[in-house]
Structure 1
Amino acid sequence: MKTLFINIKELLQIRATGIDKISGFDMAVLPKIDNAYLLIEDNVITDFGLMEACPKVSDAAIFDVTGQVILPTWVDSHTHIVYSGNRVQEFVDRINGLSYEEIANRGGGILNSAKKLNETSEDELYEQSKLRLEEIMQQGTGAVEIKSGYGLTVEGELKMLRVIKRLKENYPIAIKATFLGAHAFPIEYKENHSGYIDLIINEMLPKIASEDLADYIDAFLETGYFSVDETIKIMEAGKKYGLEPKIHVNQFTAIDGIKACVENEAVSVDHLEIVTDEDIEILKNSKTMPVALPSCSYFISIPYTPARKMINSGLPLALASDYNPGTTPSGNMNFVVATACIKMKMTPEEAINAATINGAYAMGVSATHGSITKGKRANIIITKPITSFYQLPYAFGTNLIDKVMIEGKFI
C-alpha cells in the first residue's frame, strides 16, 4: 500500500542515512522542507521532497495536508509505564511538605509501587499498562523503552518483563525492555546490599536471559540507593548476558557515577539534574547519550538538567518522559518538549532533535526511527493546521496533533 502526503507546510527532521545522533551547536539545526511531499510504501518512508518535484503515484492514497506540519514520532527512551495502581497520596504528601527521601523512608516511593505490583496478577498488570501505552501512542510516541524495577523479587521482575514482552507482541510501536532490578533495596535487604545484588546477578539475570526478556540493564545509581561500586557490578553482570547499560544517575547528587557509566560503555545516562564540569568532560567523545527528564523536575520541583551548559559544551542531549507512578505520572512527550523549551531554555529545534533522533540513539533504534529518512519506518505525527512548528512548544496545553501513523498505519 502506498500513501502520499502533499502540500505539507513543513516536513521536519529530514536526514540522510547514517546520521544517528546530533551534538552541540548542530542541535540548533532542524533540517526541513517547506511545501513538501512525503511518500510511504507499506511501513517504510520511500521518498520526500519539494512539491514541485512530487511524482505522480496513481495507486497511492493521497492526503492533502495544506497548512499542516509532519515530523517523525517521538522516541521516548526512558519510561516505567508497567506498574500497578498509582501513588496519588504521595503527590499530596509532597504538597504538604514531605521530600522524596522522606516519603521513601516511610515506605513510600519505589517500595510502595513494588508492594502493589507483587499483589497484582500478570493479566491485570497487562490490562493497566496497555492503556498507558495506547495513550502515549495517541500523543505521538512511536518508540518507547520500558523498564522493570517495581518487582524487586525474582517473580515480580519476571512478571513485569513478561508484560513488556506481551505489549511488544501486541502493539505496532517499537518497544525496548530494560531490566531494572536495581531500582531500590527491598526492606528485607536494607542492611544486606550484597545479598540483594547476588539475587539480581545469580537468580534474576539468568532467568531473564533464558526467556530473552530484556535488551538493557539499569540501576538507580544515587546516594541512598546503589553505590558506584554496586552499579559497576550490576553493569558488568548484565553485559555478560548481552545487556548494555542504561543508568539512572545524578538525580540528586554527583558521586562519580557518570565516569563509571562511560567506562562501562553505557548507552545512556539518565536524569542528570546535577551535572559537574568534570561530568561534562567525561561525556565528551564518549558513546554515552545524556538523557534529560524535564517532566520529573517539573512534577517534584527539583532542578532541571543544565541543557544549555551541556549543549554549549558540545554534548548531545536526548529528552524522555520518565513516565512512572510516583515522580512523573505522564508520558506526554509534547509536554516534555515544551517544558524543555520553557524551563531548560532549549530552542524548539534542539528539543525536537532531542526527542526524536537523539532519543532513538538512546534506545538503540537509530537505524529505523527518529527522523524522516528513506528506508526508515513510516512513523509520523501530522499536526493540525499551525503557523509553524514553533507552535508545538508554544501552545503547550493544546493538543495540536491531528493524526499519528505508526508502521504505515493511522492509529
Structure 2
Amino acid sequence: MSGAKLITNLHTESPYVRATGLNSIAVENGRFVEIDGLPLDAKIVDVDHAFVLPGFVDNHTHLVHAASREEEFLMKIKGRSYEEIAAAGGGIHNSARKLQAMSEDALFQRACSRMDAVRKAGTTAIEIKSGYGLTVNDELKMLRVVRRLQETYSDMLIRPTLLAAHALPTAYQSNRSRWIDIVCEELIPAAAEGKLAYFIDVFCEKGFFTVDETAKILAKGAEFGLKAKIHGNQLAVSGGVQVAIEHEAVSVDHLEQITETEIKLLASSKTVPVGLPGCSFYLGIPYALGRELMERGLPFALASDFNPGSSPVYDMQKIWSLACIKMKLSPQQALDAITCNSAMAMDAAEEVGSIEVGQRANLVVLQREIQNLSYVPYAFGENNIEKVMISGEWVA
C-alpha cells in the first residue's frame, strides 16, 4: 500500500510555502513526491492553515542509559563542577555502574519508553551513542539495544555511534593505553563487523582523552569504515576541532570554547559544528557561538545531547528555544539548525531534514492556533506540536 497523501492548506508563512510557492505536500511510499505524480485516490489531509515543518533531527544523544542521576543534581546546585562530580565517582562512571548492572532486555525497554516520548516531541531521525558501558561486553550491549531500536522503529532513521572512549574505565586508570588498545583492537572490529555502529566518537577533552589518543581511535575506526564524530572543546580548547578536521569528522560537537583560528579551520572544512545548548544550560557553562558561526556561513547544527548527567532533555522545541534565547539565533536559523543542518551532522542530508522530493516524509505540524513561527521558541514551556509524521505515517 502506497499510503499516498496530499497535505494541503498549509500556513502561508510555513518555510516550505515561502521557499516553493506551493501550498501542498505530496507523500507516497514513505517519501515526498511530486504532486502531479500522486494517484487519484490519494488521501487529502487539510491542516487548516497550520504551520508544517520538516521533522526535527537530533544528531547527538545518549538515549540508551540505565537510569537518571538526580542525586548529582543537588551536588551541582551546591556548586560542584562537572570535573569534581566525576572525581567523586559521579558522572559517566555513575551511569556506567548502573548500566553494567542492568540486563539488555531491561535496558531496551527503558530505551523504548524514551523513544516513544522523543517521537511524540517531533524528533523524526536520531543518533544514539554507546559510552556508558565502559567494558567490551557492555559497550556492545548498548549497541545491540540500538540495533533493536532500529528494528522496532524501522520507520525512523537511527544512526548508532560507538563511544567507548567516553571516559577511562576505573579498571584502567593506571593503564590507560591498555583501554585505548581494547577500543582499537576489540571494540571497533566487533562493532564494525557486526554492523552495530555507523560512527566512531571520542570525548577529546581535558581529563578524558588526548588529541593523540583521539587520533589513534579515529584512524582505527576509519580502517573499519566508521565515520568520525568528536566531543570537543566543552571544558577548554582541547584540540578537538583540529583532530576532527584532520580525520574528516562528520561533526565536532560541544564547542563551548573555540578560538578564531578554529572557526576559520571549520569554515574551510566539511566538518559540521554542533552546539548543545541543553548541556550549557544545565551545567551553567558558556554556549557555543551559534549565531556567529551561522553568520559566517557555517552550517551550524543543534542537538539535544539527551543524557542523564548533563542534559536531561530530549524535546527539540526546548533546544530551539535555548538557541534563540541564549545563542541569539533567529527562529528560522534555529529551525535550520535542528533540521537540515542537523541532518548534515548525521551524514543524512539526502534522507532527512528537509521537505524535498525523494526524502523521507517526516513532518511536524504545529498547533493551529500558532500564527507566527517565533511563537515556538518564545513559548518554551509549551508543547506546540499537533501532529508528527515519520516516513509518511502519523505517529503522534
TM score, norm. by length of structure 1: 0.92
Map 1:230-309 onto structure 2 (within 5 A).
230-309=213-292
Q: 1:8 aligns with which of 7, 10, 28?
A: 10
335-344 or 205-214, which deviates more: 205-214
**Contact 1:12 1:33 (C-alpha < 8 Å) held by counterparts:** no
Q: Give the deviation of 1:138 after TM superposition.
A: 0.4
Alignment partner of 1:141 is 2:123: yes
Contact 2:4–2:38 (8 Å) recurs in 1: no
2:219 pairs with 1:217: no
SS at match of 1:8: coil
- Answering whether residue 393 of structure 2 is matched by residue 406 of structure 1, we say no
Q: Distance in 2 between matches of 1:255 and 1:150?
A: 22
For the structure 1 residues 6 and 312, does the alpha-carbon distance in structure 2 shift closer, same or farther, using more than 3 Å as the test?
A: closer
Shift in Å, 1:315: 1.7
Q: Is the 8 A contact 2:279 2:310 kept in 1?
A: yes
Higher relative contact order (CA 8 A, sep 6+): 1
Residue 80 of structure 2 aligns with which residue?
A: 98
Q: Secondary structure at the match of 2:125?
A: strand
Tell me by how many angstroms 1:11 deviates.
Answer: 6.8
Whole-Å Cα distance in 2 between the matches of residues 216 and 2 of structure 1?
34
SS in 1 for 2:34: strand
Contact 2:26-2:38 within 8 A present in 1 as well: no
Relative to structure 1, the CA distance from residue 143 to residue 107 in structure 2 (aligned partners, 3 Å threshold; closer, same or farther) is same
State the alpha-carbon separation in 2 of the partners of residues 103 and 347 from structure 1: 35
Q: Under a length normalisation based on structure 2, what TM-score does the superposition of the two structures give?
A: 0.96
1:315-373 per-residue CA deviation (whole Å, 9 max, x = no partner) reads 22000000001001111101101110111000011101111001111111111111010
Q: Distance in 2 between matches of 1:376 and 1:11?
A: 22
Structure 2 counterpart of 1:45: 32
Number of residue pairs matched by the alignment: 391
Q: Deviations over 1:3-60 (max 9, x none)?
A: 111211147454xxxxxxxxxxxxxxx9545771111112111136xxxxx9996412
Structure 2: which amino acid aligns with 1:158? L
Letter in 2 for 1:244: K
Q: How does 1:280-359 map to 2 (within 5 A)?
A: 280-359=263-342
1:147-185 CA distances to partner (integer Å, 9 max, x unpaired)?
000001000100000000000011021100000000000
Q: Distance in 2 between matches of 1:57 and 1:7?
A: 19
Of 376, 387, 390, the residue aligned with 1:392 is 376
**Does structure 1 conserve the Cα–Cα contact (< 8 Å) formed by 2:28 and 2:392?**
yes
Contact 2:231 2:240 in 1 (8 A): no
- Aligned residues of 2:128 and 2:160 also touching (Cα < 8 A): yes
- Does residue 382 of the first structure (1) align with residue 350 of the second (2)? no
Q: Which SS does the other structure have where 1:9 is aligned? A: coil
Q: Which runs of 5+ in 2 are unaligned?
A: none
Larger CA deviation: 206-215 vs 239-248? 206-215
Q: Do the aligned partners of 1:11 and 1:34 also contact (CA within 8 Å) in 2?
A: no
Larger mean Cα displacement after TM superposition, 320-329 or 189-198: 189-198
Please give the alpha-carbon distance, in whole angstroms, between the structure 2 residues aligned to 1:68 and 1:55: 24
Instruction: Assess, with a 3 A threshold, how the Cα gap between structure 1 residues 2 and 111 changes in structure 2: closer, same or farther.
Output: same
CA 57–389 in structure 1, closer or farther in 2 if over 3 Å, else same: farther
Output the amino acid matched with 1:102: E
Dislocated runs of 4+, deviation >6 Å:
54-57
> CA contact under 8 A between 2:360 and 2:391: conserved in structure 1?
yes
Q: What are the superposed Cα offsets for residues 210-230 of structure 1, whole Å, 9 maximum, x if unpaired?
A: 211000000000000000011
User: Alpha-carbon deviation of 1:67?
Assistant: 2.5
Q: From 71, 81, 84, give the equivalent of 2:66.
A: 84
Tell me how far 1:313 sits from its aligned partner. 2.6
In percent, how many aligned pairs have the same letter? 45
Superposed displacement of residue 289, structure 1: 0.2
- CA distances 1:274-312 after superposition (whole Å, capped 9, x unpaired): 111011011112110000000111111111001122223
The residue aligned with 1:156 is 138
Quick check: 2:192–2:226 contact (8 Å CA) kept in 1?
no
- 2:95 aligned with 1:113, yes or no? yes
C-alpha separation in 1, matches of 2:113 and 2:107: 10
In structure 2, how many angstroms separate the alpha carbons of the residues matched to 1:143 and 1:12?
21
Partners of 1:218 and 1:235 within 8 A in 2: yes
Distance 1:169 1:143 in 2: 14
Task: Give the whole-Å Cα distance in 2 for the aligned partners of 1:228 and 1:35.
Answer: 49
Root-mean-square deviation (CA, aligned residues, Å) is: 1.6
